[in-house]
A and B are shown apart, each in its own frame.
Chain A
Amino acid sequence: MTDQQQRVSAGRSGLSLVVAVWRAISVPVAAVLLAMLIGAVILAISGAPPLQAYGALFRGAFGSTNAIARTLEKATPLIFSGLAVAFAFKAGLFNIGAQGQLLMGALTAAVIGFAVTGLPAVIHIPLALLGGAVAAALFAMIPGALRAFTGAHEVIVTIMMNYVAINITDWLADGPLKDTSGSNIVARTPQILDTARIPTIGSVPLGFVIALITAVVIWWLLNYTTIGFEIRTVGLNPYAARYAGMRVAFTIVMTMAISGFLAGMGGAVETQGVVGRYQPGFNTGIGFDGITIALLGRTHPFGVIPASILVGAMDAGSNQMQFSAGVAKEITDVIQALILFFVAADMIVRWIIRARTTEAAGPALTTGWGQK
Chain B
Amino acid sequence: MQGILQLEKTSVLYRYRNLFIYGTLLIVAVLASYISNPVITTAVLASAVRQATPIVLGALCGMICERSGVINIGIEGQMLLSAFTGFLANVYLDNLFLAVLVAVLTGALLGLLLAFMSVTLKIDQIIGGTVINILALGLTGYFYISGLTTSGKLQPIRLGPLADIPLIGPIFFSNPPITYAAIILVFLSHYVLFHTRWGLRTRAVGEHPRAADTVGIDVYKIRYANVIIAGAVVGLAGAFLTLESVGSFERAMTNGRGFVALAVMIFGQWTPFGAWGAALLFGFAMALQTQLQFTGQFNIPHQFIGMLPYVLTIIVLAGFVGRSRPPAAEGVPYEKE
A interface list, Cβ under 8 A from B: 42, 46, 94, 96, 146, 150-153, 155-157, 159-164, 167-168, 170-171, 174-175, 288, 291-292, 295, 328, 330-338, 340-341, 344-345, 347-348, 364-370, 372
Contacts and interface: CB of A to CB of B under 8 A. Distances in A.
B123 A345 contact: yes
Contacts of B311: 160, 164
Given A365-B126, A369-B324, A333 B318 contact: no
A330 B303 contact: no
A108 B15 CA distance: 52
Contact of A344 (B71, B131, B318, B326): B131
A368 B327 CA distance: 9
Contacts of B321: 150-153, 369-370
B252 to A, nearest CB: 10
A338 B73 CA distance: 17
Given A155-B73, A330-B144, A368 B137 contact: no
B314 A369 contact: no
Contacts of B301: 171, 175
Contacts of B324: 369-370
Given A167-B303, A295-B127, A366 B71 contact: yes
A291 to B, nearest CB: 6
Contacts of A153: 317, 321
Given A152-B318, A366-B126, 10 more contacts: A42-B142, A151-B322, A160-B259, A160-B314, A163-B256, A171-B303, A331-B142, A337-B134, A344-B131, A370-B326
B93 to A, nearest CB: 19
A333 B65 CA distance: 27
A150 B322 contact: yes
B262 A368 contact: no
Contact of B131 (A42, A164, A337, A348): A337
Contacts of A366: 71, 124-126, 331-332
Interface in B220-274: 255-256, 259-260, 262-263, 266
Contact of B303 (A168, A292, A295, A364): A168
Most-contacted residue by chain B among A332, A335, A341, A348 (CB, 10 A): A341
A204 to B, nearest CB: 30
Contact of B304 (A167, A330, A348): A167
A345 B117 contact: yes
Interface size class of B (residues with CB under 8 A): 35 or more
Contact of B126 (A94, A170, A332): A94
Contact of A364 (B121, B124, B128): B124
A163 B121 contact: no
Most-contacted residue by chain B among A156, A174, A328, A348 (CB, 10 A): A156
B307 A167 contact: yes
Interface in B195-221: none
Contacts of B317: 146, 150, 152-153, 156-157
B313 interface: yes
Contact of B138 (A146, A162, A170, A330): A330
A100 to B, nearest CB: 10
Contacts of A344: 117, 123-124, 127-128, 131
Interface in B304-324: 304, 306-307, 310-311, 313-314, 317-319, 321-322, 324
Nearest to A333: B138
B159 interface: no
Most-contacted residue by chain B among A160, A328, A372 (CB, 10 A): A160
Contacts, number: 146
B141 A46 contact: no
B142 A334 contact: yes
A161 B318 CA distance: 13
Given A146-B314, A150-B319, A156-B313, A291 B130 contact: yes
A14 B139 CA distance: 44
B186 interface: no
Contacts of A340: 127, 130-131, 134
A253 B332 CA distance: 25
A345 B121 contact: yes
Contacts of A171: 301, 303-304
A337 B130 CA distance: 9
30 contacts: A42-B142, A94-B126, A96-B130, A146-B314, A150-B318, A150-B321, A152-B322, A156-B262, A157-B317, A163-B256, A164-B307, A164-B311, A167-B307, A167-B310, A170-B303, A328-B142, A334-B139, A335-B138, A337-B135, A338-B135, A340-B127, A341-B131, A344-B117, A344-B123, A344-B127, A366-B125, A367-B331, A368-B331, A370-B322, A370-B324
A348 B332 CA distance: 20
A340 B136 CA distance: 13
A170 B307 CA distance: 11
Contact of A330 (B142, B262, B325): B142
B16 interface: no
Contacts of B139: 334, 337
A372 B321 CA distance: 10
A93 B280 CA distance: 31
Nearest to B134: A337
A74 B255 CA distance: 26
A237 to B, nearest CB: 15
A333 B142 contact: yes
Contacts of A330: 138, 141-142, 144
Contact of B330 (A291, A337, A368, A372): A368
B143 interface: yes
Given A150-B321, A153-B317, A369-B326, A159 B259 contact: yes
Nearest to B332: A366
B333 to A, nearest CB: 9
Contacts of B304: 167, 171
A334 B311 CA distance: 31
Contacts of B124: 344, 364-366
Most-contacted residue by chain B among A146, A159, A291 (CB, 10 A): A159
A315 B49 CA distance: 41
Contacts of A150: 317-319, 321-322
Nearest to A146: B318
A364 B331 CA distance: 10
Contacts of A328: 141-142, 144
Most-contacted residue by chain A among B139, B266, B306, B310 (CB, 10 A): B310
